[in-house]
Amino acid sequence: MSSLITVGAQWGDEGKGKVVDLLAEKFDIVARYQGGHNAGHTVEIGQKRFILQLIPSGVLREGKKAVIGNGAVVDPEALLKEIDGLGKNGISVEGRLFLSNRAHLIFPYHGLLEKALENSPHRQSIGTTARGIGPTYEDKAGRRGIRVGDMEDESNFRCLMKAAFQEKRMALRACGGELSLDEDRLVKDYLNLCRRLRPMVVDTAVFLNHELDAGRSVLFEGAQGTMLDVDHGTYPYVTSSSSTAGGVCTGLGVAPTRISGVIGVSKAYTTRVGGGPFPTEDKTAAGELLRGRGKEFGAVTQRSRRCGWLDLPVLRYSAMINGLDSLIVTKLDVLDELDEIPVCTSYELDGSALQELPPQADRLERVRPVYQTLPGWKQSTFGVTQFHDLPPKAREYLEFIQGQMGLEISMVSTGPEREQTIVLPGTRLEKLLPGPLAPQ
């Protein structure tokens, strides 16, 4: 039995999609444990570019099973659109995509509420993806959510919707909005969508535990990143789910004793999309260069991503919270043209060194990053597949990160495609995989 978690070590968009697609080759099942279609995981295979939102990236590998767990939130229309989009590109999910009957449903009123709250003068705007994610998780925690399995019984579903409409009407009025939705129409639409989803609805916790019992291997795909976790991230500028490794246990019903290891994914620099503290953000031409070379525009919202330097305090925190066994560094090639590369090694606040990341967003906003500047390599690393073929200064950069973190780097990504990857030999990752990675 092998089960491995891949988790974003920063603020999302670390290149998890590419990494999961690569590792999925070795696993039988790939499972998502949280989030919704706020995620955008890009996988490039030859001339084709896939953007997975809710469906695990592993689905692109023929014959692999994919699971959307109870910890995820599901907009059925968006999910079916994603399934149809894959179908048009020759990827059929029939018989191999499983959706939890306990996952909570996103309704259009969640989006309306989110919009009203994001525009409210009394609330700090988060800069969300506007997919209704936050309000859906609010309903879940508030014990008034409606779950995928609730659509099984039509009359029960109608009752739940009636109560939801009454409540949302009041909630929207309270923040100056109006519930401009036809309840009957919405119920009918959702029941129709449900008919299409029904064949894939199961108790995914039972399914996964049986598969593990039978010796099948599972790769858990995190969405968002550690710093967007509702508990451990830069609250309140976070998403509303548990995106860290711990989320796997609650979000899928797989116990900690069944998990073999955790792999973190980090860019060779840092990006963030949306509001909130970002200590190493670079608003100068250098940050602009990262954005341009890294094509740092949101896969889902097309928003321009904020760019900055690698932040070791964030990565060390992420290693602790997730219990990382190994780190995968992506987008090394984006740094190719730089004369020098600053790396944040610690923070200072009000003139004193900080030992820990402050939990208050306003304090993190005020920290002064302490940088060590490393020389750039001024040479292309794009597509390099062997560590020894990297320019010496690029190797030094990676070794510096490894040394500062006290954590091995097991893979380095040098381009968006599967084969543009360096797999380092003799790492913990290698031991955690069910078998050796085939040459891409």
Q: Is 14 in the site for ligand GDP (CB under 6 A)?
A: yes
Half-sphere exposure of 275 (CA within 13 A, CB side): 12
Q: Are 432 and 263 in contact (CB under 8 A)?
A: yes
Q: Is 331 in the site for ligand GDP (CB under 6 A)?
A: yes
What is the closest distance, in whole angstroms, from the C-beta atom of residue 24 to ligand GDP in the complex?
13
Q: Which amino acid is at 215?
A: G
**Range 114-133, binding ligand IMO (CB under 6 A):** 126-129, 131, 133
In the DSSP assignment, the letter for residue 236 is: T
Q: Is 225 in the site for Mg ion (CB under 5 A)?
A: no
Q: How far is CA 294 from the centre of its chain?
A: 18
Q: Is 273 in the site for ligand IMO (CB under 6 A)?
A: yes
- Cβ proximity to ligand GDP: between 102 and 305 the closer is 305
- Cβ proximity to ligand IMO: between 251 and 434 the closer is 251
Q: Is 224 in the site for ligand IMO (CB under 6 A)?
A: yes
**Range 194-223, binding ligand IMO (CB under 6 A):** 223
- Total interface residues for ligand IMO by CB under 6 A: 23
User: Which residues 6+ apart lie within 8 Å of 121 measured at CB?
Assistant: none
161 binds, among ligand IMO, Mg ion, ligand GDP, none (CB under 5 to 8 A by kind): none
User: Which residues 6+ apart lie within 8 Å of 392 measured at CB?
Assistant: 377
Q: Is 40 in the site for Mg ion (CB under 5 A)?
A: yes
331 binds, among Mg ion, ligand GDP, ligand IMO, none (CB under 5 to 8 A by kind): ligand GDP
Burial classification of residue 400, based on how many CB atoms lie within 10 Å of its CB (0-12 exposed, 13-18 middle, 19 or more buried): middle
Q: Is 39 in the site for ligand IMO (CB under 6 A)?
A: yes
Q: 133: closest CA among 150, 115, 158, 149?
A: 115
Asked about 41 being catalytic, the answer comes back as yes
Q: 328: closest CA among 242, 414, 243, 258?
A: 414
Q: Is 296 in the site for Mg ion (CB under 5 A)?
A: no
What is the closest distance, in whole angstroms, from the C-beta atom of residue 133 to Mg ion in the complex?
14
Asked about 350 being catalytic, the answer comes back as no
414 binds, among Mg ion, ligand GDP, ligand IMO, none (CB under 5 to 8 A by kind): ligand GDP
Can the peptide bond before residue 342 be classed as cis, meaning omega within 30 degrees of 0? no
Pick one of 9, 16, 274, 374: the residue that binds ligand GDP (CB under 6 A).
Answer: 16
Q: Are 39 and 54 in contact (CB under 8 A)?
A: yes
**Range 235-254, binding ligand IMO (CB under 6 A):** 239-240
User: Which residues 6+ apart lie within 8 Å of 6 measured at CB?
Assistant: 16, 19, 20, 23, 219, 220, 221, 222, 263, 264, 265, 328
The strand ranges marked E within 46-171 are: 48-52, 65-68, 73-74, 97-100, 104-105
Q: Is 227 in the site for ligand IMO (CB under 6 A)?
A: no
Q: Is 41 in the site for ligand GDP (CB under 6 A)?
A: yes
Which of these segments, 10-18, 82-90, 140-148, 340-348, binds ligand IMO (CB under 6 A)? 10-18
- The active-site residue, picked from 41, 104, 110, 232, is 41
Residue with tokens 């992420």: 318
- The active-site residue, picked from 13, 21, 325, 333, is 13
Q: Are 374 and 341 in contact (CB under 8 A)?
A: yes
Q: Which amino acid is at 180?
A: S
Question: Across-strand partners of 247?
Answer: none
Which of these segments, 4-12, 95-103, 143-151, 369-377, binds ligand IMO (CB under 6 A)? 4-12
**Range 12-31, binding Mg ion (CB under 5 A):** 13
Would you tell me which residues interact with ligand GDP (CB under 6 A)?
Answer: 8, 12-18, 40-42, 44, 299, 330-331, 333-334, 413-416
Looking at the annotation, which residues are catalytic?
13, 41
